[in-house]
Chains A and B, each alone.
Chain A
Amino acid sequence: MEVSLARRLFRALIFHSIQRCRISETLCRLSVSLKILHDSNPSLLRISISDTGVSSSLEEFLKLDICTLAISSEQWDGVLSITTTGMNDKEIQHFRLNIRESTTSNRRLIKLPSTYKTFGAFSGTEVCFSTREGHSEEFVLWAVGFFKKILLLKDPNIVLELASENINDHMSRRESLLHENDETRAPLSLSGIKCMAFGLQEYSLRHGFTLHKECEICSSHRELLIEGNGVAHNSERNRIRDQLMVEAVILVMPVKLQPSCWCWSVNRPTTQVLCFQDYAPSSHLDSCLDILSSIDWPSFGLRLKEASVETEGKIAVKAALEDLKASNTHIFLSSQAIKIRECVPDLSRSIASLILSSNDSEFKRECTTLLGLSSLQSNPETLIESCISEKLARIIEANDKKSKAERGAVVAPSLFECGNLGENEPIDEETREADDDYVLGY
C-alpha cells in the first residue's frame, strides 16, 4: 500500500506552519480548510493551510522532499500556491511552486502579482494544493486525528481550526471538525512540560479524544492517574539558538485499579507512544521506539514487550520514570525489590511470633515499646505484624532507591506494550529549532 502523498505533504506543511506561529511569539491562529468537490471523478480535494505566524522565508518550500517521482500526474500536478506577508510588509506576495520539477536544487518559485495591503498590519501565510487521490472522506478522518494530537500539547499561543466543505452543483456545506470542547485551555498557571502533562491527562480521560467530553467513569478515578515528567538538554551545541531539548511525560493508569468502563473492554489497555517534534506530531516513530528499547525497564519494575537513540531522548524518558518512581515508590519498585517485598508477610509474622510466644514478659514489653505500640489488648499479633510489615516495606523502598544499575530480571510486571500507530513515514524536514518532545501515554 502506497503511503498517501496528501498526508505526507499535509504533515510537512503543518509542521512548518506551527514553527512560524511559534517564532512569532504571539497568539496565532492555524486554520485548515478541506474542500471536497464531488462533481469530479474521482473527487477533487482542495487543501488550504493558513496561519497568522511570521511570513514564510519560502526556503522551506524549496526544500520539500516528498518522493514525488512515484506519484502519477493524474493524482497531483505538484503545484503549491503560496501567499505570505510579513508584519512590516506593505504588500501580500503570491507565489506558485511546482515541486514535480526534477530536484530541489532546480526548483523555481514563480512570482505572481502582489496585492497591496489596504488595511491594518498583519502577517501570515497560506498554502494550497489539490489532490485527486480518492477517498477524500478517509483523508478528512485522518486529518482530524492528526489535529487532536496537536491539541494535546496545549500550546497557549496557537488556536487550531479545522473545517471541511463539501461542494457539488447544487449546494455547499461547511462543517467544523474540531468541537468546542476540543480546545479547552490548560490552566494559565501551567507552563512548559506541565502543559503537556495536563493535555496528556485530558487525552487519556477522553480516550484519545474519541469522546467529546471526559469519560464519566474515568474522570471519577482521575486521582489514580500517575504522572512523571523529565527534561534533558544537549549542552554540546554551541549556540543557544541551536540548543536541543527533550521533554518526556509518562502517564500511568494502574492496571489493578482499572475502572469497569465499557470503553476499556472495547479498547484493551495498551501503552500508547506519542512522539512530537517541534510541537507537531512526528513521523519518526522508529527512533522513538529505539529510545524506549534502550531504557533499563526492569530497574523500574517494568518489562518492555516488543519495541525498538539519541542520548537526550533516553535521558528525558528515564528522568520521567525517576520522577514517577520518586512519588510512587510502592508501585515502581524494581523487580528485585518486588521479590524482596514478597517476603515481608513471612518476615513480619515470624518476628511477631518470636515476640509474642516468648515467656519473658519484660522482653515483650521492650519490643512493643520499640515498635511504638502502647496497648496490645486486642489482636496483638495482627497489630505487631502490620506495624513490622509497614516498616519493612519502607526499608525495602529506601534500599531500592539507593541501588544502582540493577540487572534486569525476566519476571517484571508487564506494563509497556507499544501499539502500532500505523504511521511510519520518514520525512526529512529542515528544522530551524530542534525541539523534540516525547510523550508516553497510557
Chain B
Amino acid sequence: MAGRRSCMSAAMETQSQSRLLASVRGFVRSLVEDICNGRSPSVALDRYRTFCSDPFGNCACSFDTPFAKEFISIGRQPQAAHRLAVLLRVLSIIQLLLQQNKHASKRDIFYMDPALFVDQAVVDHIINDICVLLRCSRHHLNVVIFDSLSLLVMGWLRFKESDRTISCIKNPNTEHPIPVCLEDVEDMVSVAQYILVVEKETVFQRLANDKFCDRNRCIVITGRGYPDVPTRRFLRHLVEHLRLPVYGLVDSDPYGFDILTTYRFGSMQMAYDAKLMRVPEMRWLGVLPSDFEEFNLPDRCLLNLTPEDKRKAEAMLSRCYLIKDAPQWRTELEMMLHKGVKFEIEALSAISFAFLSEVYIPTKIERGKHI
C-alpha cells in the first residue's frame, strides 16, 4: 500500500499508531496487575448517545461528552465475562494489524475465531467498544470495509486516491466508487455549487441517466440506504474541504427520515464517533410531506403508512435533537403521521420521467425550498 503521501501525513499516521499501541499495552498491564493482585479484571467504557427522549429538550445530550460509564468485569455476570473475553481477543488481533501495518475487515476478524464471536454483529459492537477504550475511530485501528464498491459519487469533483487521480469532472455523469480509506485521499478540487446526497442507488442512476450534472454544477453521492462509515466520512470530508451546502433527498417515509437523521446527527450505535461523522449542515431538500400540495402530486402516488411505519415515526418524534435542532423536520414528520401516507422518490416519474431531474430538484434548490 505504498502511496505518495506527504511526509507530514505519513509521520502523523505513524505517531497515531504508536500512541494506540501504547494505550493497548497500558490497558493490558493494568489487567495483569489486577489479576496478580486477586482483583477481577475489568474495563471501564464511556457510553455516548446522540439523542434521548426528553420531551422538553432540556437534556444534557452532547455529541462529544459521554452520558454514562459502563464497567465490564468477570465479577458476577457470565455475559460480562464472555464480552470481556471477546474484547481481548479482538484487541489482540488489532494489535497485530497495527504492528504489521495491515488492514482487515470486520468479516476478516470474525473468521479468525467464529466459535468465540458467534456473530459478526458481536465483532462490530466490540470494535465500537475498543474505539471508546482507546479514544480513536475505527479507521485508526486498521479496520476497514472492502465491499463498498457500490457506494457512488459523481459530479464536478477531482481528487487523488493513493497514486491514482479520480477525475469525476471529466465526465460529471459517470459514477465512481467512494474511497474506502479516506487517509489515501489528497488534492481534492471542485467547482461544484452544492452537494446532493441521495438515499437510493436507483435515484442516483436516474440522475446519471438524465445527465443531471451536465446542467447542474454539483456533486451527487449515495450511501445506498443507511450510510456506512466510508460514505459518512467522505461526505464530511467534502463538506469540510469544499465548504459547499449539502442537501438530502430521501423518500417521504419514516425509513427515509431516519436515514436523513443519521447523516445529520449520527447513529446511536456509533455515537462515540458522532462528532467526526455527522454533517450538521445537512438540509432536507425532499421529498417533504408538504411537497404533495406544493407540486400538486397525483393521489395515486401516495401509499398508506403501515402500522410499523407509524410506530417508527412516533418513536422518532421523541428524539431530543429534533426538538432542539430541527423543529421544522419534526413538523414535517408530524404532518406525515397526521396524513397517514408516504411517498417514494420514484413516484415523481408519474408526472414525467424527467420531472425529478429537470423540474423538482432544480426548482427546490433555486427557490430555497429546503429545511
Contacts and interface: CB of A to CB of B under 8 A. Distances in A.
Given A336-B76, A343-B74, A388 B92 contact: no
Given A346-B116, A347-B84, A370 B32 contact: yes
Contacts of A180: none
A196 to B, nearest CB: 36
Contacts of A370: 29, 32-33, 36
A4 B225 CA distance: 81
B122 interface: no
Q: Which secondary structure dominates chain B's binding surface?
A: helix
B28 A395 contact: no
Interface string A342-384: 1100110111011101111001001100111000000000000
A381 B35 CA distance: 17
B40 A357 contact: no
A240 to B, nearest CB: 43
Nearest to A366: B29
B24 A354 contact: yes
Contacts of A358: 21, 24-25, 28, 95, 99
A343 B41 CA distance: 13
A367 B92 contact: no
A342 B116 CA distance: 12
Nearest to A353: B92
Contacts of B86: 346
B85 interface: yes
Interface stretch (A35-43, A67-75, A396-404): A396-404
Contacts of B88: 346-347, 350-351, 354
A339 interface: yes
A395 B36 CA distance: 10
B96 interface: yes
Interface in A310-358: 336, 339-340, 342-343, 346-347, 349-351, 353-355, 357-358
A371 B74 contact: no
Contacts of B36: 370-372, 391
Given A346-B116, A355-B28, A363-B29, A395 B35 contact: yes
30 contacts: A340-B76, A346-B85, A346-B86, A347-B85, A350-B88, A351-B28, A351-B35, A353-B92, A354-B88, A355-B28, A355-B32, A357-B92, A357-B96, A357-B99, A358-B21, A358-B24, A358-B25, A359-B21, A370-B29, A370-B32, A370-B33, A371-B32, A371-B36, A391-B38, A392-B35, A395-B35, A395-B41, A396-B74, A399-B40, A399-B76
Given A357-B96, A391-B36, A395-B39, 10 more contacts: A339-B78, A347-B41, A350-B92, A354-B24, A358-B28, A358-B99, A360-B25, A370-B36, A392-B41, A406-B76
Interface of A: 336, 339-340, 342-343, 346-347, 349-351, 353-355, 357-360, 363, 366-367, 370-372, 388, 391-392, 394-396, 398-399, 403, 406
